[in-house]
């Protein structure tokens, strides 16, 4: 049986759901097709967003022969077989070679494509769910344009489902097909931007209920029955891994404990304990920092407990650490300080360390002027005396600025008094 997703596959760009930033009037793909001048392209985006469909439409609209390979199952031999057929192709305005999941091809196979791309024998369209700048051979990228296919919205999914229901009704003569608007909206939420998954669920509902019933009604209950549990769009080795971790840290930084707990749940569902632990330690230093310097010790204890417990119990100390960090006062003064210093070291000649700060604990150090006239702070009141510590070229630089939080402001007040020679 021909799958529903194939039956209703769009025949032209106007029927494609979503991707208006690429397919609308005056947009890049529409302009390419209108001009007849195609570039090599990498389609990058989540599954079920129309990458294969759009490649097919481009081939049809430009009169090119369409070949499709899948990098997970095909090989260099399959590419060479297609190249051998090029001279026998008649009546076509060139060839489009579409390679699904191109990131699975080895570097050697990707390199072999260069010859055929550069001599114009084929127009390459590669599709990938992974960030192409991490996984695609740079020479391929430099000869291609990367087009990002966006995750479909709930409204896009609902539009696609309604279109499918309209096109499929002739397959069920004598049957009445109805739906609850709320059910389609639920499906739009459930399938997280993957129209193909939504169509597969719809197909199960339609054909499973068409045998005994004269009326097929798509309801929330029927969707729950055939969809099983919700599948999070998460792959610990893929792009969404970094998206969730990014949202996780930004939510804690923004002091939103509710969002942080939700993203922690996504990471726990994926079983990604190592990434959670590493990111929590980073956040404790980067975002909470000196506003609550004890936080990193507490977080480290929670992490040690989580690692010892393992899932599912690890979720408890991890949640404790997340809530602690999300509700703690925030300061990024430490990361700003070190990044500022590193930038100067990369771009400036900071000069020599003052001689009196250099190591003087060896024979001949005095002759070299090492450690002469050094003022030992503990010999002075409050263990402080004014002295230049920075190299001359940057002696006026200020890398650390006290954060605007209670802890650092207490420290600032202390040192302001000390350096003004006031009594403490």
| Residue 1 forms part of a structural domain | no
pLDDT for 231 equals: 47
Examine the pLDDT at 236 and tell me if it is beyond 60.
no
Residue 381 and residue 402 share a domain: yes
Residue 158 and residue 83 share a domain: no
Residue 109 and residue 33 share a domain: yes
Task: Return the CATH number at 45.
Answer: 3.40.50.300
Q: What is the pLDDT of residues 299-344, one digit of tens each?
A: 999 999 998 888 889 999 999 999 999 999 999 999 999 999 999 9
Task: Return the CATH number at 181.
Answer: 1.10.8.60
Say which range, 32-36, 41-45, 90-94, has the weakest mean pLDDT: 90-94
Chain Cα centroid distance, residue 175: 44
pLDDT for 8 equals: 81
CA distance 355 to 368: 9
pLDDT for 371 equals: 65
pLDDT for 306 equals: 93
- Report the domain count for the chain: 4
State the residue range of the domain holding 202. Answer: 154-227
Q: What is the pLDDT of residues 148-183, one digit of tens each?
A: 998 888 899 999 999 988 888 878 877 888 888 888
| Residue 13 forms part of a structural domain | no
Residue 257 and residue 140 share a domain: no
Residue 286 and residue 217 share a domain: no
| Domain final residue, candidates 113, 148, 183 | 148
Say if residues 349 and 393 touch (Cβ distance below 8 Å). yes
pLDDT for 197 equals: 87
Q: Which residue has the higher pLDDT, 84 or 63?
A: 63
Task: Return the CATH number at 249.
Answer: 1.20.272.10
Cα end-to-end span (Å), the chain: 85
| Residue 335 forms part of a structural domain | no
> Which span out of 147-151, 171-175, 290-294, 357-361 was modeled with the highest average pLDDT?
290-294
Tell me what the pLDDT averaged over the chain comes to: 86
Examine the pLDDT at 368 and tell me if it is beyond 80.
no
Q: What is the pLDDT of residues 384-407, one digit of tens each?
A: 999 999 999 999 999 999 999 999
Residue 49 and residue 119 share a domain: yes
Hey, what's the torsion of the CAs at 165, 171, 174, 176, to 10 degrees?
-10
Say if residues 277 and 263 touch (Cβ distance below 8 Å). no
Residue 211 and residue 253 share a domain: no
Give the pLDDT band of residue 230 (cuts 50, 70, 90). low
Residue 317 and residue 203 share a domain: no
Residue 193 and residue 261 share a domain: no
| Domain final residue, candidates 293, 327, 361 | 327
Q: Is the peptide bond before 312 cis (omega within 30 degrees of 0)?
A: yes
Say if residues 46 and 153 touch (Cβ distance below 8 Å). no
Q: What one-character-per-residue DSSP string does 231-263 give?
A: -----TTSHHHHHHHHHHHHHHHTT-HHHHHHH
Q: What is the pLDDT of residues 332-351, one digit of tens each?
A: 999 999 999 999 999 999 99
| Domain final residue, candidates 274, 295, 327 | 327
Helices (H) and strands (E) in the chain, counts: 19, 7
| Residue 396 forms part of a structural domain | yes
| Residue 332 forms part of a structural domain | no
| Residue 233 forms part of a structural domain | no
| Residue 41 forms part of a structural domain | yes
Q: What letter would DSSP give residue 91?
A: S
| Residue 162 forms part of a structural domain | yes
Residue 190 and residue 304 share a domain: no
CA distance 262 to 248: 8
Residue 321 and residue 214 share a domain: no
What is the pTM (predicted TM-score) of this model?
Answer: 0.57
pLDDT for 215 equals: 80
Residue 353 and residue 412 share a domain: yes
Q: What is the pLDDT of residues 11-30, one digit of tens each?
A: 888 889 989 899 888 889 98
pLDDT for 384 equals: 92
Strand partners, 126: 42, 99
Say if residues 177 and 209 touch (Cβ distance below 8 Å). no
């Amino acid at each position: 049986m021909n799958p529903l997703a194939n039956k209703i596959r769009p025949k032209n760009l106007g029927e494609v759901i979503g991707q208006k930033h690429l397919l609308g009037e005056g947009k890049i793909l529409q302009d390419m097709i209108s001009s007849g001048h195609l570039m090599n392209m990498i389609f990058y985006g989540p599954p079920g967003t129309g990458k294969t469909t759009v490649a097919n439409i481009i081939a049809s609209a430009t009169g090119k022969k369409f070949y499709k390979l899948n990098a997970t199952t095909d090989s260099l031999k399959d590419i060479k077989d297609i190249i051998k057929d090029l001279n026998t192709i008649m009546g076509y305005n060139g060839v489009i070679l579409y390679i699904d999941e191109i990131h699975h091809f080895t570097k050697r196979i990707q390199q072999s494509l260069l010859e055929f791309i550069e001599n114009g024998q084929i127009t390459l369209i590669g599709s990938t769910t992974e960030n192409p700048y991490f996984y695609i051979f740079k020479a391929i990228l430099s000869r291609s344009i990367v087009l990002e296919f966006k995750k479909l919205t709930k409204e896009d999914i609902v539009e696609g489902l309604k279109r499918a229901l309209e096109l499929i009704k002739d397959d069920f003569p004598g049957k009445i097909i109805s739906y609850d608007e709320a059910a389609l909206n639920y499906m739009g939420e459930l399938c997280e931007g993957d129209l193909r998954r939504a169509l597969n669920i719809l197909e199960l509902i339609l054909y499973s209920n068409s045998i005994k019933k004269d009326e097929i009604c798509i309801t929330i209950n029927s969707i729950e029955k055939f969809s099983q549990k919700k599948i999070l769009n998460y792959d610990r080795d893929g792009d969404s891994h970094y998206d969730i971790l990014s949202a996780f840290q930004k939510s804690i930084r923004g002091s939103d404990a509710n969002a942080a707990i939700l993203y922690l749940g996504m990471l726990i569902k994926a079983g990604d304990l190592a990434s959670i632990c590493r990111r929590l330690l980073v956040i404790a230093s980067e975002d909470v920092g000196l506003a609550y310097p004890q936080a990193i010790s507490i977080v480290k204890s929670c992490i040690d407990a989580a690692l010892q417990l393992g899932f599912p119990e690890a979720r408890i100390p991890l949640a404790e650490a997340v809530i602690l960090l999300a509700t703690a006062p925030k300061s990024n003064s430490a990361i700003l300080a070190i990044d500022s210093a590193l930038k100067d070291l990369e771009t400036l000649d900071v000069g020599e360390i003052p001689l009196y700060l250099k190591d003087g604990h060896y024979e001949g150090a005095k002759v070299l002027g090492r450690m002469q006239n050094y003022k030992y702070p503990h010999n002075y009141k409050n263990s402080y005396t004014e002295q230049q510590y920075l190299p001359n070229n940057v002696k006026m630089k200020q890398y650390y600025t006290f954060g605007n939080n209670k802890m650092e402001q207490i420290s600032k007040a202390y040192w302001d008094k000390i350096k003004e020679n006031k009594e403490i």
